[in-house]
């Protein structure tokens, strides 16, 4: 009996995690996504020593200590150049992935990691704090590209039954990068006056490994067939990735998608914004990426040290509690990898934003009462951990997965460009605005975050469909009625699951 038939009835062949697919996932995620997370947290612990270096350098140049306001400005630039670079990196996504391919862009992106790693590593020897600030901007470009290109690459490599699990792997490596930076930032490891330059420079190691190893793995088959028209290379790549010779079913689905997009051509961002058939997909990724960043996740991390201090944690022990919180983040993201295909994307988003909303409300109450009720600071710590758990299972990883799934090949680069720009601008906004919010509103700042979480949850409940185990064309048809467009089916009027749509908006 043919392995694709059961008692004479055709059944769908489910993709499996082959060695080639697993290694391509791990190498691209470690080489790119890991760096994003690492550079988010790498300057937190050594901040006092870096600021001391800034001041010492200034004294050596000008013979007088740096004014406090100027030091604050330089440090703010050191922190904010990273998300600003991420925004510019996002703007580069569409032209690069269309020109160089997904794998090619990841290889090229290593330039934006290795160069700043060397710059930060020699900054103390060169006695230049300007080098650190410029390097933070450049490594931000690396993060902006990797945060969008890795999910796109893995989403196009993976079979549809593994697309959600593999799509979360980049976020998992982001959390591992954050945790590694927190561990290395412990005072007696590298978070000290002699180790901080080495700590900043270590970000170049994953880039070098990716540069050496990723060339041995396939480019995205969808990119090769649909955008380059190279069906032979796409077929060979699919055979390596799936571990079997007969890949005609997937190739046929790609050909249908290619046919459906011939009239549209490659979509720019402006074309994407004007496409009626993509209206609600675009609104959805904007809402989810804004919700992800404006939900307060960075503010929670910013506020965590003062929460732990108010709970009576000794100043020297706060770094270890922070590492513990990072470990919880990693553990819950691993859990999301294993449950996303069973639970679906939508449910994890709803649960995650619901937990974050509740945790923000409880944290506001706990922070307001912690000076009057002796055990309330411990509730604050629990609220922080609950928030981290909620964000890790839904809001953090799932928007990347859904962005890949909601758009077809011609629109996907422009969609990631929009999603990434929203992501990094929102990140930058929170970093810029939260200190003023915290000064003016105190603990009530988190009520604003709880409202944002609630609004995002309501939008997802009303608009975002479940996309697990669906082809890209099936997902396109799911949005057709909401976009008020008609979908013309190919090969007569057979159901989508049997023949697939040409997905042409009439």
Phi, psi of 372 (to 5 degrees): -110, -20
Q: Please report the pLDDT score of residue 14 as a whole number.
A: 65
Residue 65's CB is within 10 A of a number of other CB atoms, namely: 11
Q: What is d(CA 499, CA 341) in angstroms, rounded to the nearest whole number?
A: 24
Q: Which of 182, 226, 221 is nearest to 42 (CA)?
A: 182
Instruction: Determine contact, residues 275/480, Cβ cutoff 8 Å.
Output: no
**Domains (range + CATH), the chain:** 16-217 (1.20.1250.20), 271-485 (1.20.1250.20)
Which pair of structure tokens corresponds to residue 31? Answer: 């080489």
Structure tokens belonging to residue 190:
């590298």
**Per-residue pLDDT tens over the stretch 24-55:** 999 999 999 999 989 888 888 788 888 889 98
Cβ-based neighbour number of residue 470 at 10 Å: 18
Backbone angles phi, psi at 459, to 5 degrees: -60, -45
Q: What is the pLDDT of residues 396-453, one digit of tens each?
A: 888 988 888 888 777 788 888 888 889 888 888 887 777 777 778 877 888 999 999 9
* Cβ contact 44:185 at 8 Å: yes
Report, in angstroms and rounded to the nearest whole number, the Rg of the chain calculated over CA atoms: 24
Phi/psi for 362 (5° steps) reads -65, -35
Nearest to 430 by CA among 90, 79, 137, 46: 79
Lowest mean pLDDT among 201-215, 237-251, 256-270, 375-389: 256-270
Retrieve residue 3's tokens.
Answer: 């392995």
Q: Report the pLDDT value the prediction gives residue 8, as an integer from 0 to 100.
A: 43
Contact 362, 379 (CB under 8 A): yes
| Predicted local confidence at residue 268, as pLDDT | 65
Tell me the C-alpha distance between 114 and 171, whole Å: 21
Q: Which residues pair with 5 in a beta bridge?
A: 10
């Amino acid at each position: 009996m043919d392995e694709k038939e059961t008692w004479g009835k055709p059944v769908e062949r489910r993709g499996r995690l082959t060695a080639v697919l697993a290694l391509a996932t791990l190498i691209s995620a470690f080489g790119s996504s890991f760096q994003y997370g690492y550079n988010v947290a790498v300057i937190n612990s050594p901040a006092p020593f870096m600021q001391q270096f800034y001041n010492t350098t200034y004294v050596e140049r000008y013979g007088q200590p740096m004014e406090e306001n100027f030091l604050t400005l330089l440090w703010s630039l050191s922190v904010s150049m990273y998300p600003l670079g991420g925004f510019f990196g996002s703007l580069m996504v569409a032209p690069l992935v269309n020109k160089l391919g997904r794998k090619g862009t990841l290889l090229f992106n290593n330039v934006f990691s290795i160069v700043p790693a060397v710059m930060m590593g020699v900054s103390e020897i060169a006695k230049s704090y300007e080098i650190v600030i410029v390097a933070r901007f450049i490594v931000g470009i690396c993060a902006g590209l990797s945060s969008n290109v890795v999910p796109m690459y893995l989403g196009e490599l993976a079979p549809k039954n593994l697309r959600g699990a593999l799509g979360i792997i980049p976020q998992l490596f982001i959390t591992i990068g954050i945790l590694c930076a927190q561990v290395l930032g412990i005072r007696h490891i590298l978070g000290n006056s002699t180790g901080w330059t080495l700590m900043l420079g270590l970000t170049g190691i994953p880039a070098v490994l990716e540069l050496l190893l990723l060339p041995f793995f396939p480019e995205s088959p969808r990119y090769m067939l649909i955008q380059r028209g190279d069906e032979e290379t796409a077929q060979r790549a699919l055979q390596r990735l799936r571990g079997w010779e007969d890949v005609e079913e997937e190739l046929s689905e790609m050909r249908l998608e290619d046919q459906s997009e011939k009239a549209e051509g490659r979509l720019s961002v402006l074309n994407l914004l004007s496409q009626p058939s993509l209206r609600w997909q675009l609104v959805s990724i904007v809402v989810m990426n804004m919700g992800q960043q404006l939900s307060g996740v960075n503010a929670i991390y910013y506020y965590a040290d003062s929460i732990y201090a108010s709970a009576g944690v000794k100043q020297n022990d706060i770094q270890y509690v922070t590492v513990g919180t990072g470990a919880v983040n990693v553990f819950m993201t691993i859990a999301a990898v294993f449950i996303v295909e069973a639970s679906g994307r939508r449910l994890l988003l709803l649960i995650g934003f619901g937990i974050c909303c509740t945790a923000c409300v409880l944290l506001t109450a706990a922070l307001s009462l912690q000076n009057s009720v002796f055990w309330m600071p411990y509730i604050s710590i629990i609220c922080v951990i609950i928030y981290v758990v909620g964000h890790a299972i839904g809001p953090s990883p799932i928007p990347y997965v859904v962005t890949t799934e909601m758009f077809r090949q011609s629109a996907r680069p422009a969609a990631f460009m929009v999603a990434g720009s929203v992501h990094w601008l929102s990140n930058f906004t929170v970093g810029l605005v939260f200190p003023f919010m915290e000064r003016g509103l105190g603990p009530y700042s988190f009520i604003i975050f709880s409202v944002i979480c609630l609004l995002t949850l309501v939008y997802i409940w009303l608009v975002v469909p479940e996309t697990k185990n669906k082809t890209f064309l099936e997902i396109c048809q799911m949005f057709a009625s909401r976009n008020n467009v008609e979908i013309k089916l190919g090969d007569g009027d057979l159901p989508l699951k049997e023949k697939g749509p040409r997905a042409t908006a009439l």
